Structure 1
């Protein structure tokens, strides 16, 4: 990129930064969030594996706070991040024993699949949101306050649609115990047997949860950020303001969309288990899964996992958005400084 192109790009973008700079900021946020939250889920899965060992062909959900991964058990104990070599009495005890026996690096043993999937998804999602929100605020006029709601929903649809085939292929690779070198063969077989649409299988269940979450999250985040900026009499949100706004908005969105999360997880797990066992039966629909949960456990069954989800989502949202906003603020200041230097040099 030439030096003369920076000012023109900055003036085009209402946020004062370029789309490339937005991508870098969101990428750094995704990396930092993954580094902080991954150990929590590694310990949680190890505790789950100890209490209820995962038999071959069964699945469990691995989530780093940015996105979910459906993981297939091939032989019950092959992956370091869910095998249970000892007895853990509590979460803290698990942390201590895992670090003592296997080294501190084992707490991040689930990080590679996270980075492969979550980083590109997050970069697409956050960059699309900022671009859409800026454009919608101009077009919506008097209804500009609702722009984050619509932009958040549209950005999530876009990122989930792009990433969905990658997640499905990754799950197939794991279920069939194949290497990434055999990736093209896996994709070709899936397309030949079930058509191109099969690469987006399960997307509807994902969107059912993620789109409402995203719309609520961004709407509440922008409201909370504006309120705190006004309360503390500052024009630019500080790191603390964005951190608190992210945690609060993430908590609200996770509570409201919890039933969708429960249904989506149950349906996606069933779907992958059918594929892993090479069964000819079809996975249940979203509506039938919801009906079954209510019939078996009542309405309360739709809110199972409330506390674990809240404990994970709130800090993940806070870390991600505050890091992202910090990165944008840095690039915004950098661009302004470059403009001032260029203006001074042109007048001299």
Structure 2
């Protein structure tokens, strides 16, 4: 009974570690990639920003993907006769019995799925002004929450078939009862797609989408809302807007960028790039 009671706790632990590590790496990588693609005025195009988000997501997935495999295996195993007894034990068992490759089984689907996911987010983002019939800086927290939910909903719908196949590839193992409970047996990514469509039908690629939406959509809405609110608080504390609840500009505050200030910004960006190169050379030697 004790071991059965510890399995759900292990699942919660690995999910927490996965999301914390993934979010931290994602944000750090995104910031670094955006800085590399900014021009001298700190501007970056929408397409480059979205590409930076995709690359940052891939970097985060590369670092945390084994934890995602562990999560899937802990869920797929039989709790009455558990094969794995915790996060570290699962990592060690998979590595020693199936090799390092098993910890990254299905990773290519994360890379491929990042394309429709980013396009879904972008499709919502570029149509927000037309949807609300007002510029984005006038959005309320409720509007930002709805925007985040819509972007996540469309992105998840477009990329979910890749998520379905990825989970099946992660779960399939000869060491687990019924090969991890996978409803089809396959020899690779393309064969998995083919077997799922052949045995379960094309729409089965979206099986479980509703449950996933319940988890991801409100999470994304709250994340987007908190991000926008933090931006407003920072602008308010620096005196640029009249309230942390709106983007109304503070009267009498010159918010234009003069010629001297422009040169100062250019000089700052050049110095930052120079120090970054020096740091890279120092690390190399």
Structure 2 equivalent of residue 177 of structure 1: 85
What's the RMSD between the two structures over aligned residues?
4.1
1:178–1:245: structure 2 CA closer, same or farther, 3 Å change rule? closer
Structure 2 distance, partners of 1:296, 1:179, is 33
2:231 & 2:201 partners in 1: Cα distance? 45
Could you tell me how far 1:235 is from its partner in structure 2?
3.1
Partner Cα separation in structure 1 for residue 7 and residue 97 of structure 2: 33
Identify the match of residue 145 of structure 2 among 228, 243, 259.
Answer: 243
Q: Does 1:232 align with 2:137?
A: no
Is the 1:80–1:109 contact (alpha carbons within 8 Å) kept by the matching residues of 2?
A: yes
Q: Is 1:323–2:226 an aligned residue pair?
A: yes
Alpha-carbon displacement from aligned partner over 1:197-226 (angstroms, at most 9, x marks no partner): 4443332233333x1354124423532455
Larger radius of gyration: 2
User: CA 1:312/1:167 → structure 2, altered by over 3 Å: closer, same or farther?
Assistant: closer
Structure 1 residues 323 and 234: alpha-carbon distance in aligned structure 2, compared to 1, 3 A threshold: closer
TM-score of the aligned structures, taking structure 1 as reference length: 0.52
2:92 pairs with one of 186, 201, 212 = 186
| 1:178/1:151 CA distance change after superposition, 3 Å | closer
**Superposed CA offset, 1:320-342 (max 9, x none):** 222233234434555x36xxxxx
Rounded Cα–Cα distance in structure 1 between residues aligned with 2:229 and 2:199: 46
Taking the TM superposition and a 5 Å limit, the aligned residue runs for 1:129-140 are 129-133=30-34, 135-136=36-37, 138=39
Match of 2:29 among 117, 128, 149: 128
Q: Are the counterparts in 1 of residues 120 and 151 from structure 2 also a CA contact under 8 Å? A: yes
Query: 1:119 and 1:179 mapped to 2: Cα distance?
Result: 15
**Runs of 5+ consecutive residues of structure 2 not aligned to the other structure:** 75-81, 180-184, 240-285
> Deviation at 1:275?
4.1
Aligned counterparts of 2:12 and 2:86: Cα–Cα separation in 1: 19
CA distance in structure 1 between the aligned counterparts of 2:73 and 2:199, rounded to whole angstroms = 30
> Residue 228 of structure 1 contacts residue 241 of structure 1 at CA under 8 Å; is this kept in 2?
no
Q: Shift in Å at residue 312 of structure 1?
A: 3.4
